[in-house]
């Protein structure tokens, strides 16, 4: 079957290292980009994706940021949906006794209360830089805008406790993802990678024209909806279970390998 749209997650999927794509991946994307629209779909902020679009030669295509909460085409905003301020204050109140740091993302801005090893890793991997100020000051500053994403930086113990509290109180309003033992990501419930892709489909296109690649929980919906959902070998077990195909790990250029075998131009 011919595909019209190729959608891929970044971290742990398209990226062969923590912050870059391989020359093989670049070559494969450039080979197919005139026949297939290539759309990057990530939890990252815009500046953590622009350089990858540039490397892949697809800056003319839209990109999906913050798990679907923000869709951009160049500098033009196509869609935006944020977590409202009152809910952000509620998250802050729950997190404060556990001494959990909040990373707050809105548009192309990233706010953290202090620098840390986790923040340093994020800066290195995404080639972005946060604004450092106390969380209550940030919340006051973004009252009218809300946040596209919240990242909760925890210990394993505090993450265990916080997950239970958040799911008990806010599961109807937010997507609550545990990225790893110490990181929890929050996004608006009304959006997802799947819903964002659907918005970018052209009039005669449907999800049956989409090939989607992923590795984590937040990729499951888009992979299930796509005509062809492909998990990299390093994906979580739950993701591999719902995938139509499993390719090589991201560190072995799994996405590019699959494209080379299944998209013939």
Summarize pLDDT for 220-265 with one digit per residue, the tens: 999 999 999 999 999 999 999 999 999 999 999 999 999 999 998 8
Q: 110-139: string of b/e by CB count within 10 Å (b at 16+)? A: bbbbeeeebbeebbebbebebeeeebeebb
Residue-range domain boundaries for the chain = 5-80+191-262, 85-188
Strand runs (DSSP E) across 181-227, as ranges? 183-188, 210-214
Residue 89 to residue 164: CA distance in whole angstroms: 18
Q: What is the mean pLDDT of residues 24-49?
A: 97
pLDDT confidence tier of residue 85, bands split at 50, 70 and 90:
very high
Q: What is the pTM of this model?
A: 0.94
Contact 113, 130 (CB under 8 A): no
The per-residue pLDDT for 180 is 87
CATH of 85-188, one of 1.10.3720.10, 3.40.50.360, 3.30.1240.10, 3.40.50.720: 3.30.1240.10
Above 90 in pLDDT, residue 178?
no
Average pLDDT in the 178-201 region?
94
Looking at residue 1, its pLDDT comes to 59
Q: Across all residues in the chain, what is the average pLDDT?
A: 96
CA distance 166 to 27: 43
Asked if residue 219 lies in contact with residue 239, where contact means CB atoms within 8 angstroms, the answer is: yes
Would you say 93 and 179 are in contact if contact means Cβ atoms under 8 Å apart?
A: no
Mean pLDDT of 53-73: 97
Mean pLDDT of 87-108: 96
In this predicted structure, the answer to whether residue 73 has a pLDDT above a threshold of 90 is yes
**Reported confidence tier of residue 37, pLDDT bands at 50, 70, 90:** very high
Q: Would you say residue 17 has pLDDT above 80?
A: yes
Q: Tell me the pLDDT tens digit for each residue of 106-137.
A: 999 999 999 999 999 999 999 999 999 999 99
Those residues whose C-beta lies under 8 Å from the C-beta of residue 192, and which sit 6 or more positions away, are 67, 68, 175, 218, 221, 222
Between 192 and 2, where is the model more confident?
192
5-80+191-262 is a CATH 3.40.50.720 domain: no
Write out pLDDT tens, residues 154-176: 999 999 999 999 999 999 999 99
């Amino acid at each position: 079957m011919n595909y019209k749209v190729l959608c891929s997650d970044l971290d742990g999927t398209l990226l062969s290292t923590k912050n870059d794509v391989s020359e093989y991946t670049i070559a494969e994307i450039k080979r197919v980009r005139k026949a297939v629209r290539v759309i990057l779909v990530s939890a990252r902020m815009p500046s953590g994706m622009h350089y990858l679009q540039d490397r892949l030669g697809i800056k003319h295509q839209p990109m999906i940021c913050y798990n679907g909460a923000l869709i951009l085409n160049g500098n033009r905003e196509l869609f935006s949906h944020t977590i409202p301020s009152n809910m952000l204050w509620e998250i802050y109140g729950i997190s404060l006794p556990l001494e959990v740091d909040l990373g707050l993302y809105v548009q192309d801005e990233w706010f953290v209360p202090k620098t840390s090893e986790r923040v340093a890793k994020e800066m290195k991997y995404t080639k972005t830089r946060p604004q450092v100020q106390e969380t209550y000051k940030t919340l006051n500053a973004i009252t009218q805008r809300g946040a596209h994403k919240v990242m909760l930086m925890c210990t394993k113990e505090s993450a265990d406790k916080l997950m239970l509290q958040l799911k008990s109180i806010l599961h109807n309003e937010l997507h609550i993802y545990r990225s790893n033992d110490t990181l929890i990501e929050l996004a608006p419930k009304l959006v997802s990678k799947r819903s964002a892709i659907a918005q970018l489909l052209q009039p005669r296109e449907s999800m049956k024209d989409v090939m989607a690649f992923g590795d984590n929980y937040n990729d499951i919906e888009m992979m299930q909806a796509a005509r062809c959902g492909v998990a990299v070998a390093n994906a979580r077990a739950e993701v591999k279970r719902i995938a139509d195909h499993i390719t090589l790990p991201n560190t072995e250029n799994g996405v590019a390998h699959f494209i080379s075998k299944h998209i013939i131009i």
